[in-house]
Structure 1
Amino acid sequence: MNGLSLSEFCCLFCCPPCPSRIAAKLAFLPPEPTYDFLADGTGKYVLTLTERAEWQYTDQDKEKVEGFYTRTNRGNKIGCLYVRCSNTARFTILFSHGNAVDLGQMSSFYLGLGSRINCNIFSYDYSGYGVSAGKPSEKNLYADIDAAWLALRTRYGISPENIILYGQSIGTVPTVDLAARYEVGAVILHSPLMSGMRVAFPNTKRTWFFDAFPSIDKVPKVTSPTLVIHGTEDEVIDFSHGLTIFERCPKAVEPLWVEGAGHNDVELYTAYLERLKQFVNVELVN
């Protein structure tokens, strides 16, 4: 997410584009796909990863990862991954990943994270990312998570109280949208943004009609326990976004402000894993 030039700024206010144009300008950078789903002849798919996916486990561990397609209500076929990290997991995390990565690049992280906090992880690629068809847009983002939610509920029979919605960066946008409409086990917002305009123009104090990703207006409707995580030195989405989102969450739990962390290294700090373990295995259980 980059700031806009003066000429783009003037253009924006002289003839404001539709929200999807702002969304595309600010947010979407799909990488070259790092994986594929190969049909095995039985109606199932085998996950194949390129070197750029940087798989960190064994070939046997790859059997814990199930890939498949589902279709959104906007007609796009999107790729999904279900990672069986634990046989005793109470919760399944519906993970909406950040920008400029796809499911292939995230697969090792999912297996490692789920194993450490005793959760299974279900994730999906946004329209235009990985093997998912279509183009990235704000409307598709919401349709994508709706399709993922439906697949998780119906294919695996997991009830809402056992689902944790986890959004990272741009992934907090569909996460907040879904969490504002359904009560779930919990919500985790990792480096959230208030809205697209507030990222591009930090002094924005209101939500304009042409703004994109207005999470700040949806967060007050989230009724599930919510953990907000943000690095204090975030150079992409300023720390103030996390603070304000936290203040607007009706059921916010103690947040995790990672001192000195930027936008892409929060997971490298020991406090990250410790806070997640405490939240998932202690606070949500008691």
Structure 2
Amino acid sequence: MQSVNSFFTNAQQQISSLYGFQDALLYQPNEPDTARTIVQTPDVFHMPYETITIETPDNEKLHGYLIKQINRTNERETLVFFHGNAGNIGHRLQNANLLYRTCNINILLFDYRGYGKSTGAPSETGLYTDALAVYNYVRKRNDLNQQKIFLFGRSLGGAIALHLASHLAQMNATPPLYGIVIENTFTSIPDMAKRLFQVTVLDYVPNWCYKNVYPSLGKIRHIKAPILFLSGGQDELVPPQMMEKLHEECKSSKKQMVIFPDGQHNTTWLSHDYTNQIRKFLAECSTLIETTSSASSASCSS
């Protein structure tokens, strides 16, 4: 009996520790240690931009950059960039510059609450609130093509983008999303915990014991917008099998998985053919919209 009691006591302690340290393990806004004080601007790569502040319904202020193409700004696609769990938007500028130059798109970069120069502290509910606030901000910009708004999410950002896309799908929001691109993201935090810690007791821990869940696998089933899955074959953090599972469970009629054999978790975007795959996806989204519009016009005239 003592050994049984000991087992349950140890299990309780592990679960309690897991809950208490979850935020510290998941959210890394102070990595590197200057990430809350130094945020580079797009000037570093000579990109034209405006600094924006987006206020959330719970009164947090999100700091961001809207990087716009100089020519025909309102004809271009606009990417809303959801970054990973560490650093700030300044650390994504090299990536943004590559996309800006090769895909000829506008890019909105923003920091979640508690990251960079944004106020507050991160939490799952809070980051979902941030995502919707940013989306609503983009939808109010008259200088952006509202038919060509798409989401990009990497790692934790992928989970946030999928939540937003799922929410919009269930609300039948119009205009619909142009598309979604997710890269090296996970099926859920409980699945990641089992992968990272490999503690037997975690197999029996229900999701309600987790402070952060990000249940992307369930949410992706609601998404009907075109979606591109970019997976690093050598991802050392998120098992590529999780991306495969997300792709498998996605119900969108326009979905594609691209695997970069040598891509690691944070370097897949440097892989050969990476931007070409995104450009190809955007061209297909454009064709899809034109086809849908033509079909709608024909239906109305008949």
TM-score class normalised by the smaller sequence: 0.7 to 0.9
Q: Secondary structure at the match of 2:207?
A: coil
- Residue 253 of structure 1 deviates from its aligned partner by 2.1
Q: Higher helix proportion, which one?
A: 2
Is the counterpart of residue 142 in structure 1 residue 128 in structure 2? yes
Is the counterpart of residue 10 in structure 1 residue 11 in structure 2? yes
1:279 to 260, 267, 281: 281
Pair 87,205 (structure 1): closer, same or farther in 2 beyond 3 Å: farther
Q: Higher strand proportion, which one?
A: 1
Counterpart of 2:296?
none
Is the counterpart of residue 234 in structure 1 residue 218 in structure 2? no
Counterpart of 1:123?
109
Counterpart of 1:200?
193
Pair 114,11 (structure 1): closer, same or farther in 2 beyond 3 Å: farther
Deviation string for 1:165-189 (max 9, x for gaps)? Answer: 1101010121011101223000111
Q: Which moved more, 1:89-98 or 1:170-179?
A: 89-98
Counterpart of 1:244?
245
Structure whose CA Rg is larger: 2
Q: Secondary structure at the match of 1:264?
A: coil
The answer to whether the 8 Å contact 2:49/2:67 transfers is yes
Deviation string for 1:14-53 (max 9, x for gaps)? Answer: 55876xx5751442101345587xxxxxxxxxxx855xx7
Counterpart of 1:45?
none
Q: Which moved more, 1:166-175 or 1:155-164?
A: 155-164
- Residue 112 of structure 1 deviates from its aligned partner by 2.6
Q: Secondary structure at the match of 2:256?
A: coil
Pair 265,55 (structure 1): closer, same or farther in 2 beyond 3 Å: farther
Pairing 1:65-214 to 2, within 5 Å after superposition: 65-85=49-69, 87-88=71-72, 89-156=75-142, 158=144, 160-182=146-168, 183-202=176-195, 208-211=207-210, 212-214=213-215
The answer to whether the 8 Å contact 1:70/1:77 transfers is yes
Deviation string for 1:51-87 (max 9, x for gaps)? Answer: xx79652xxx24x121121111222111121001352
Identity %: 23
The answer to whether the 8 Å contact 1:55/1:107 transfers is no
Q: In structure 2, what residue type is equivalent to 1:100?
A: A
Q: Secondary structure at the match of 1:250?
A: coil
Pair 71,33 (structure 1): closer, same or farther in 2 beyond 3 Å: farther
Q: In structure 2, what residue type is equivalent to 1:184?
A: L
The answer to whether the 8 Å contact 1:97/1:169 transfers is yes
The answer to whether the 8 Å contact 1:194/1:241 transfers is yes
Counterpart of 1:263?
265
Pair 33,153 (structure 1): closer, same or farther in 2 beyond 3 Å: farther
Structure 1 vs Structure 2 CA RMSD: 3.0
The answer to whether the 8 Å contact 2:78/2:145 transfers is no
Pair 206,156 (structure 1): closer, same or farther in 2 beyond 3 Å: farther
Q: In structure 1, what residue type is equivalent to 2:117?
A: V
Distance 2:184 2:16 in 1: 30
Structure 1 unaligned spans of 5+? 1-5, 37-47
Instruction: Give the TM-score of the pair, scaled to structure 1.
Output: 0.81
Q: In structure 1, what residue type is equivalent to 2:100?
A: G
The answer to whether the 8 Å contact 1:179/1:222 transfers is yes
The answer to whether the 8 Å contact 1:83/1:111 transfers is no
The answer to whether the 8 Å contact 1:49/1:55 transfers is no
Distance 1:84 1:220 in 2: 32
Q: In structure 2, what residue type is equivalent to 1:84?
A: K
Instruction: Give the TM-score of the pair, scaled to structure 2.
Output: 0.77
Distance 1:34 1:23 in 2: 20
Pairing 1:52-71 to 2, within 5 Å after superposition: 56-57=44-45, 61-62=46-47, 64-71=48-55
